[in-house]
Structure 1
Amino acid sequence: MNSFWIILFHTYINKLKTKSFIITTLLTVLIVLALTNLNNIIDIFDKDGGKENIAVLDETGQLYEPFKKQVKLINKDIKLSPFEGSVDNAEKAVEEGRYQGIVLLAMNEENLPLATYKAMSIADSSMFTDLNTSLQQVKTMLAASQIQLTAAQLEKLYEPVSFEKIALEKNAKTEEELNQARGLVYVLLFIIYFSVIMYANMIAMEVATEKSSRVMEILISSVSPIKQMFAKIIGIGMLSLTQLAVFLSVGYFSFKQNMESLKEGFMGVYGFGDIPFETILYAVIFFILGYFLYATLAAFLGSLVSRIEDVQQMITPMTLLVVAGFMIAMFGLGKPDASFITVTSFIPFFTPMIMFLRVGMLTIPIWEALLGIAILVATITILAIFGARVYRGGVLMYGQSNSFKDIKKALQLTKKE
């Protein structure tokens, strides 16, 4: 058993010291810090404190004030300024950077407002939409006055219809809880997706590298291939947990420092300040099971190739399975109770992401979650037994890889031992 622990910690320590691991960790930490300090970073680069300065040329002499009032109600970051001068002078002011754009206000033949917006670039569609919506409100008020609608009648006309959603299922999540769960599950799905792909690939590359350097010939004389396989899987699993612990610790403390500003934005809308314990527990369980499922698959696929260049070709089908599961989960964010999502959540290679999606967004019977976990454990066990047999013969195979035909050769070599 000592040889198992030696390989396990050798794999862990060696990968921990590599430049690629250190650089990847540092870059990801910087990204986490940037995301949790996004508001502060935006403030640094915003010379006008986030304000969009727009010049307004009002040819009518009566539209500017109501237009300004509506803009202020819709977007406080848009600052309107009356411009005294010609259109050519206004355009020149925009070119010089004194204004982000200009709005030309006029009346049509029906005495209703029309406008033209000019800027160096019209790529900022959100600001244009806010300006357009504001002018539409002004037009509505003027049209209402022309047909002699009172303010009370106009308010009644545009009063939102009452349309309430009520879930009849016992303990079903409210709409607010669903929105919070959707954002949280979205982020955690990305973590599971990228982690599984990155660390499973790392295992396949590790096995292929040792085979290509003929180190494997020395190892198998003293340590059984099965011990090697599981030592590498657990060693890189520990590496993944170490890296995730760093990311989550940095993200947590940075989030705590910027909690107030973040709660007003994305984090607050999607409920990241109040994460349910059950969701975190399921995320950890499905992450670990998903890792072992794909890591076992990657280890024996990596044992079939003799050159590092062949690794990506061999593990491409496995990568496509992960991508398919992720794409189904993205569809499920909008319709988590669809029959298609329910069925695919019990397909082992999709379960880590899709069953987690369901337990995060729906109130499903606990037996369904436990069944998904049991299916994963059973699949990992079967895959481990079969994978160990393939790995034992695969590490003895050299020469050009012939894709999945080599699995049969590996099994034949295992029987001969």
Structure 2
Amino acid sequence: MHKFNIIFMRNYLLHLKSKSFITLLITPIISVLIFAGIGGLVASSSQNFDDYQFAVVGDSSVKSELVSKDKDSIDTSIKSESTAKKELKKDNIDGYIKVSKENNQYKVNFVGSISLDSDVKTDLLAIVNKKQSELNVKISNVTSEQYKKLSVKPSFKSSITNKEKKQNTDQTSNANTSSIYVLIFISYFFILIYASIMSTTIAKEKGTKISEIIFSSVSPSTYFSGKVGAVIALMSTQMAIYCGVGVFTYFILNMYPFFNSLFTSQHVLISTFIGNIFSINLLFIFIGFVIAIVLAAICGSLSANVEGAAKSSQPLVFLIAVIFGFSFSFINNGASDPIILQVGSYIPLFSSFFMPIRLINHNANLFEGIVSLLIAIAFIAFVTYKFSNVYKLFMLNNEEGTFFKRIRSSLNNK
């Protein structure tokens, strides 16, 4: 274990301090910070941004007080309920509030395409409650009935059309599609990047006496596990940093009224998107990374030298590109679950792309996802164990030739 820790930390710190990793790490962060800065400028110049427009009809005293508190959210040009209905139908307003008084009780009825803005609702109920209390005291006598009359509360009724339900459904659908795209692109680009890092790292020691010296004091399985573990830790470090930056950016943007209102209006989309990403789907991305890194290590060990690492990894790159291309044909087919997608969702590496699509589209359940993960983990354990036994042979073989010829040549020297 001590030798593994030394190999692991040496390779991890070596990658962590490299200029290529630092560039790879900070480039997206700088892009995010630039976006946040632009967002701040937009927010500061959007002081008159209004999310909602409502009309108030009926009791004039309630309307005048409400307008004095929420003038920007209320269309004062609408005087009657009939006009309000027409404007709502044309989508010129988001809803209207009708305030009436019947049998010494204030009644508030809201009709809209979306829910009444929470600030407007709070101010409205405060005004009506106050007026109801004044009315209760006015009509009450000093009798036992006084307490009953004082306990009368205003009535509030809200009718929401199907438009808001449709908006929520549309937001969920958009979030599902967006999260699938994000997962696929993250898997594809990060797998390619780290597969290249892994194959190059392994290939650097080909054609030198370093491998012979190392294998004389460290078992091939320990050395291989340490180098692969270091790259996996490097990838995990980068993802953890990105998650931290993402959370930090969200809270910074949420301090601006513009983005706060935007996040509130799109809360279904945002919560669904985050739920799709930070779930079992994230495990599929991670497992896909590990599989690709292990396979890339095999490709790197089969190269004749570091210059041939890219050529040796071509079969893996081609396979990943094929999976990536296939994934796009299944993104917008949420209602269908083709057999190729079902089968592929249980095949290691394919499953890292296919199973999240099925899970997000509700074509597979959590149990099926766990089964797929277990198969992928078993595949990693099997390949790692088998390859560890022949890793030394592959590393010490420097013969040129095709991919399969080098495999044959290495195994013949066993």
Pick the aligned partner of 1:288 from 270, 286, 290. Answer: 286
Residues 230-252 of structure 1, C-alpha deviations (whole Å, 9 max, x = no match): 11111111011111111221122
Q: Structure 1 pair 296/270, CA: closer, same or farther in 2 (3 Å)?
A: farther
Matched, 1:370 2:378: no
Matches within 5 A, 1:160-239: 174-239=169-234
CA positional deviation for 1:31: 2.0
Q: Structure 1 pair 185/397, CA: closer, same or farther in 2 (3 Å)?
A: same
User: How many angstroms apart in 1 are the aligned matches of 2:344 and 2:38?
Assistant: 37
Query: Which residue is 2:56 aligned to?
Result: none
User: How many angstroms apart in 1 are the aligned matches of 2:361 and 2:33?
Assistant: 28
Residue 409 of structure 1 aligns with an amino acid whose one-letter code is: S
User: How many angstroms apart in 1 are the aligned matches of 2:258 and 2:228?
Assistant: 41
Q: Structure 1 pair 279/39, CA: closer, same or farther in 2 (3 Å)?
A: closer
Q: Structure 1 pair 326/41, CA: closer, same or farther in 2 (3 Å)?
A: farther
Matches within 5 A, 1:398-413: 398-413=398-413
More deviation, 7-16/205-214: 205-214
CA positional deviation for 1:190: 1.6
Matched, 1:348 2:348: yes
Matched, 1:257 2:224: no
Give the structure with higher Rg (CA). Answer: 2
Residue 298 of structure 1 aligns with an amino acid whose one-letter code is: A
User: How many angstroms apart in 2 are the aligned matches of 1:279 and 1:221?
Assistant: 45
Query: Which residue is 2:397 aligned to?
Result: 397
Residue 288 of structure 2 aligns with an amino acid whose one-letter code is: G
User: How many angstroms apart in 2 are the aligned matches of 1:38 and 1:328?
Assistant: 36
Partner SS state of residue 364, structure 2: coil
CA positional deviation for 1:307: 1.4
Residue 200 of structure 1 aligns with an amino acid whose one-letter code is: A
Query: Which residue is 1:311 aligned to?
Result: 309
CA positional deviation for 1:222: 0.9
CA positional deviation for 1:400: 2.4
Matches within 5 A, 1:120-139: none
Task: Answer yes or no: is the 8 Å Cα contact 1:181–1:270 preserved in 2.
Answer: no
Q: Structure 1 pair 348/31, CA: closer, same or farther in 2 (3 Å)?
A: same
CA positional deviation for 1:37: 4.8
CA positional deviation for 1:350: 0.8
Q: RMSD in angstroms over aligned alpha carbons?
A: 3.4
User: How many angstroms apart in 2 are the aligned matches of 1:284 and 1:405?
Assistant: 37
Task: Answer yes or no: is the 8 Å Cα contact 2:179–2:276 preserved in 1.
Answer: no
Query: Which residue is 1:140 aligned to?
Result: none
User: How many angstroms apart in 1 are the aligned matches of 2:41 and 2:300?
Assistant: 43
Residue 389 of structure 1 aligns with an amino acid whose one-letter code is: N
Q: Structure 1 pair 369/250, CA: closer, same or farther in 2 (3 Å)?
A: same
CA positional deviation for 1:38: 5.1
User: How many angstroms apart in 1 are the aligned matches of 2:389 and 2:186?
Assistant: 31
Query: Which residue is 1:25 aligned to?
Result: 25
Matched, 1:338 2:369: no
Residues 193-247 of structure 1, C-alpha deviations (whole Å, 9 max, x = no match): 2221111221110010122443222211111111111111111110111111112
User: How many angstroms apart in 2 are the aligned matches of 1:335 and 1:269?
Assistant: 25
Partner SS state of residue 210, structure 1: coil
Q: Structure 1 pair 269/321, CA: closer, same or farther in 2 (3 Å)?
A: farther
Task: Answer yes or no: is the 8 Å Cα contact 1:279–1:359 preserved in 2.
Answer: no
User: How many angstroms apart in 2 are the aligned matches of 1:330 and 1:44?
Assistant: 39
Query: Once the two structures are aligned, what percentage of the paired residues are identical?
Result: 25
CA positional deviation for 1:290: 0.8
Q: Structure 1 pair 279/18, CA: closer, same or farther in 2 (3 Å)?
A: closer
Pick the aligned partner of 2:242 from 247, 258, 269. Answer: 247
CA positional deviation for 1:42: 7.3
TM-score by length of 2: 0.63
CA positional deviation for 1:405: 1.5
Provide structure 1 residue ranges, at least 5 long, that are not aligned to the other structure.
Answer: 46-72, 75-161, 167-172
Task: Answer yes or no: is the 8 Å Cα contact 1:180–1:271 preserved in 2.
Answer: yes
In the TM superposition, structure 1's runs of 4+ consecutive aligned residues that sit over 4 Å from their partners are: 35-38, 40-45, 260-263, 273-279
Residue 185 of structure 1 aligns with an amino acid whose one-letter code is: I
CA positional deviation for 1:335: 0.8
Residues 300-349 of structure 1, C-alpha deviations (whole Å, 9 max, x = no match): 11111131121111111111221222222222210143313223222222
TM-score by length of 1: 0.63
